[in-house]
């Protein structure tokens, strides 16, 4: 009998073992069943996920590495989510992708898995799945695209779409020029090249210990990505013999290291919900407050869009994540391991910064305190998130009159109405966009500024929402408000004209009214009417069981690991 898990299928002389081997012989020789590890390559390549379309080539290099190390590579196409295409929002399907991938890893004769992701939700869903099955697993991030330019100026993928479209609305850019920039936006294979969610999750996965250190941020067309992929294949085989599983690699210290990295690179707020969900699958204690506590003392060292100016190609050239982490080494948990079996900090010696404009040294940070702030108050009893590094400093302490939108449709219908009673000090509130409300917690929290204010030169306002914002977006945006309006949160009670107090330093978000008055209010009828509970399929299951943003927006029955055991034979 093979010592490997796959041997439960292939070992022995009975009818079932015969069936399992016989059907797999199309391409596999007899010695494939002699006990060598079978490694799945969980591959999110898809023509409908253009950021991941090159992953089949990456999979070939992984495959060669697995063969070379004596394993058997098996391509396992898994659910893939193209951020720009999937409706109503890719986040609605993150948990479905994680659940389907988890079940397919567990259900098959697999001893370990290499996870190929890139576009925003793909690395999170793969890590959630691997954490739940707890077989040896590592990530190969697909890498960012190269920098495109338009009229001699670099374009930040995503970020510049928001910026240019606001310029059109403000009347400072012609629509013709805007449309001409379209063909320059995406220069090559790979995911968005700003420090958006995809880049953030690749970096965060590396800081968590889930990749070969030094690979995150390697541009997708760079030959070094294929070299790293080959190495990842070899490492997967070694991980199986070492029984190096997610539960043994990813500790609370690993997650805190990931939070340090998130702050130092100025990463996306989406990492909060994704890391909470992954930790939930592992049973690692992690809360929203850990992001504030651990991230608050971390300096912002990376000058990348959307908060700064450079792009991922520059980041990689300047030394990448290891150079960043070397600057904040004292803030890292020295015991936290990586998939290689060595601690993360062991990779930092000699990790130099090659361009100090892109990656600043600790002695000259872009901001002394980066990170994500968690706000509480009568508008967000379970917390809300703000990324101060992407906000306008003058708006971080603000008092303004709420202008409330009951749904995304309501916002679209009225935001540019010349008669909308709004000024630059108003606080734009959008509700009905949380996990249940939309459903799926879309990236709509950066609601557009009213056209008349844009035309008057206003470029930022305080915005509050129970949804998320794109990692490529920026602004003074309070998001992930929990509980959301559709779950009975006080965001459903606020009315246009109420005064909102935002105090980021004091970590407060309040409506300036007495608690008794707020308690006496009924949820706004229009907000209730805008929420139509789905009656079938995934959406119905999702809305019934999804948790709130403050705990990662996973489904309540998917929290925790189920391990790799399958209860019954298939015949
Ligand atoms: Fe795929 Fe941005 S759309 S990473």
Q: What pLDDT shows up at residue 159?
A: 85
**302, 359 Cβ separation under 8 angstroms:** yes
Q: Which atom of ligand 1 is nearest to the CA of 196?
A: 2
Q: How far is the CA of 212 from the centre of ligand 1 (A)?
A: 22
Task: Find how far residue 40's CA is from the centre of its chain.
Answer: 23
Would strands 148-150 and 153-155 be described as parallel, antiparallel, or unpaired?
Answer: antiparallel
Q: Give pLDDT tens digits for 19-72.
A: 999 999 998 999 999 999 999 999 999 999 999 999 999 999 999 999 999 999
Q: Give pLDDT tens digits for 434-455.
A: 999 999 999 999 999 999 999 8
Q: How many CA atoms lie within 13 A of 469 on its CB side?
A: 30
For 364, other C-beta atoms within 10 Å of its C-beta total: 9
> Tokens 């022995």 identify what position?
12
Q: Which residues contact 14 (CB under 8 A, 6 or more apart)?
A: none
Would strands 153-155 and 373-377 be described as parallel, antiparallel, or unpaired?
Answer: unpaired
> Tokens 């929203």 identify what position?
288
Q: Whose CA is nearest to atom 3 of ligand 1?
A: 83
Q: What pLDDT shows up at residue 1?
A: 38
Q: How far is the CA of 191 from the centre of ligand 1 (A)?
A: 5
**567, 502 Cβ separation under 8 angstroms:** no
For 321, other C-beta atoms within 10 Å of its C-beta total: 29
Q: How far is the CA of 564 from the centre of ligand 1 (A)?
A: 31
Residue boundaries of the structural domains of the chain: 37-147+187-347, 148-185, 373-532
Q: 96, exposed or middle or buried, with CB in 10 Å at 0-12, 13-18, 19+?
A: middle
Q: How far is the CA of 116 from the centre of ligand 1 (A)?
A: 15
**473, 159 Cβ separation under 8 angstroms:** yes
Q: Which atom of ligand 1 is nearest to the CA of 82?
A: 1
Ligand 1 contact, 198 CB (< 6 A): yes
pLDDT of the chain, 571 residues: tens digit per residue: 346 899 999 999 999 999 999 999 998 999 999 999 999 999 999 999 999 999 999 999 999 999 999 999 999 999 999 999 999 999 999 999 999 999 999 999 999 999 999 999 999 999 999 999 999 999 999 999 999 999 899 999 888 888 888 889 888 899 999 999 999 999 999 999 999 999 999 999 999 999 999 999 999 999 999 999 999 999 999 999 999 999 999 999 999 999 999 999 999 999 999 999 999 999 999 999 999 999 988 999 999 998 889 999 999 999 999 999 999 999 999 999 999 999 999 999 999 999 999 999 999 999 998 889 999 999 999 999 999 878 999 999 999 999 999 999 999 999 999 999 999 999 999 999 999 999 999 999 999 999 999 989 999 999 999 999 987 778 999 999 999 999 999 999 999 999 999 999 999 999 999 999 999 999 988 888 888 888 899 999 999 999 999 999 999 999 988 899 997 887 7
Biggest CA-to-CA distance, the chain: 79
Q: Whose CA is nearest to atom 1 of ligand 1?
A: 119
**21, 33 Cβ separation under 8 angstroms:** yes
Nearest to 270 by CA among 479, 472, 471, 97: 471
Q: How far is the CA of 194 from the centre of ligand 1 (A)?
A: 10
Q: Which atom of ligand 1 is nearest to the CA of 51?
A: 1
Ligand 1 contact, 83 CB (< 6 A): yes
Task: Out of 155, 185, 191, give the residue to mutate to test ligand 1, the one with the largest number of ligand atoms within 8 Å of its CB.
Answer: 191
pTM of the entire structure? 0.97
How far apart CA 124 and CA 555 sit, in angstroms, is 14
Q: Which atom of ligand 1 is nearest to the CA of 49?
A: 1
H or E, element range at 239: helix 223-242
**250, 530 Cβ separation under 8 angstroms:** no
Q: Which atom of ligand 1 is nearest to the CA of 472?
A: 2
For 333, other C-beta atoms within 10 Å of its C-beta total: 17
Name 405's bridge partners. Answer: 430
Task: Out of 198, 202, 267, give the residue to mutate to test ligand 1, the one with the largest number of ligand atoms within 8 Å of its CB.
Answer: 198
From the options 3.30.1380.20, 3.50.30.80, 3.40.50.300, 2.60.40.2230, give the CATH code of 373-532: 3.50.30.80
Task: Out of 46, 51, 53, 185, give the residue to mutate to test ligand 1, the one with the largest number of ligand atoms within 8 Å of its CB.
Answer: 51
Ligand 1 contact, 158 CB (< 6 A): yes
Q: 6 in helix, strand or coil?
A: coil
Q: 477 in helix, strand or coil?
A: strand
H or E, element range at 114: strand 112-117
Ligand 1 contact, 64 CB (< 6 A): no
DSSP assignment of 35-92 equals: SPPEEEEEE---TTSGGGTTHHHHHHHHHHHHHHTT-EEEEEE-----TTTSSS-HHH
Backbone dihedral angles phi then psi of residue 199, each to the nearest 5 degrees: -65, -40
**301, 365 Cβ separation under 8 angstroms:** yes
Alpha carbon distances (Å) from 421 to 21, 169, 402, 445, 494: 71, 19, 10, 20, 16
Alpha carbon distances (Å) from 488 to 87, 483, 519: 25, 7, 12
Nearest to 95 by CA among 82, 108, 81: 81
What's the full length of the chain, in residues? 571
CA dihedral in degrees (47, 51, 57, 62; nearest 10)?
A: -120
How far apart CA 465 and CA 456 sit, in angstroms, is 24
- DSSP annotation of 18 reads H
């Amino acid at each position: 009998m093979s010592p490997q898990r796959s041997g439960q299928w292939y070992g022995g002389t009975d009818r079932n073992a015969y069936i399992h081997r016989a059907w797999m012989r199309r391409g596999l020789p007899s010695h494939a069943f002699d006990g060598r590890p079978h490694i799945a390559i969980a591959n999110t390549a898809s023509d409908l996920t253009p950021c991941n379309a090159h992953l089949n080539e990456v999979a070939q290099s992984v495959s060669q590495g697995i063969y070379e190390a004596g394993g058997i590579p098996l391509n396992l196409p898994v659910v893939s989510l193209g951020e720009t295409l999937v409706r109503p929002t890719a986040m609605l399907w993150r948990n479905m992708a994680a659940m389907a991938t988890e079940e397919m890893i567990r259900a098959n004769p697999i001893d370990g898995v290499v996870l190929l992701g890139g576009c925003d939700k793909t690395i999170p869903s793969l890590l959630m799945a691997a954490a739940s099955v707890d077989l040896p697993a590592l990530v190969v991030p697909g890498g960012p695209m190269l920098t495109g330019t338009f009229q001699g100026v670099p374009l930040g993928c995503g970020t510049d779409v928001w910026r240019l479209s606001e310029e059109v609305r403000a009347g400072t850019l012609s629509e013709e020029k805007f449309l001409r920039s379209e063909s320059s936006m995406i220069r090559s294979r790979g995911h968005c090249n700003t420090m958006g969610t995809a880049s953030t999750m690749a970096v965060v996965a590396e800081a968590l210990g889930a990749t070969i250190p030094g690979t995150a941020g390697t541009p997708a067309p760079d030959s070094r990505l294929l070299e790293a992929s080959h190495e990842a294949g070899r490492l997967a085989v070694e991980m199986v013999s070492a029984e190096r599983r997610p539960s043994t690699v990813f500790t609370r210290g690993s997650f805190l290291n990931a939070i340090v990295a998130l702050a130092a690179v100025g990463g996306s707020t989406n990492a909060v919900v994704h890391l909470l969900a992954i930790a939930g699958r592992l049973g690692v204690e992690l809360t929203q407050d850990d992001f504030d506590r651990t991230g608050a003392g971390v300096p912002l060292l990376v000058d990348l869009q959307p908060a700064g100016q450079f792009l991922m190609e520059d980041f990689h050239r300047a030394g990448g994540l290891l150079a960043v982490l070397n600057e904040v080494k004292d803030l890292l948990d020295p015991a936290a391991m990586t998939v290689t079996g060595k601690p993360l900090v062991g990779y930092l010696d000699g990790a130099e910064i090659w361009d100090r404009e892109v990656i600043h040294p600790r002695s000259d940070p872009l901001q002394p305190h980066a990170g994500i702030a968690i706000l509480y108050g009568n508008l967000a009893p379970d917390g809300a998130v703000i990324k101060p590094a992407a906000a306008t400093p003058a708006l971080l302490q603000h008092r303004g009159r709420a202008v409330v939108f009951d749904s995304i449709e309501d916002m679209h219908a009225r935001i540019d109405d010349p008669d909308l009673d709004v000024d630059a000090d108003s606080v734009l509130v959008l509700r009905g966009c949380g996990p249940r409300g939309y459903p799926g917690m879309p990236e709509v929290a950066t609601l557009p500024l009213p056209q008349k204010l844009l035309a008057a030169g206003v470029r930022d306002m305080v915005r509050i929402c129970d949804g998320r914002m794109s990692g490529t977006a920026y602004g003074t945006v309070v998001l992930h408000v929990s509980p959301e309006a559709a779950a009975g949160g006080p965001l459903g009670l606020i009315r246009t004209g109420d005064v909102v107090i935002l105090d980021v330093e004091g970590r407060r978000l309040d409506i300036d009214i007495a608690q008794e008055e707020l308690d006496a209010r009924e949820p706004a009828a229009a907000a209730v009417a805008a929420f139509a509970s789905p009656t079938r399929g995934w959406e119905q299951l999702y809305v019934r069981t999804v948790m709130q943003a403050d705990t990662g927006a996973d489904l309540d029955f998917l929290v925790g690991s189920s391990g790799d055991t399958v209860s019954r034979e298939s015949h």
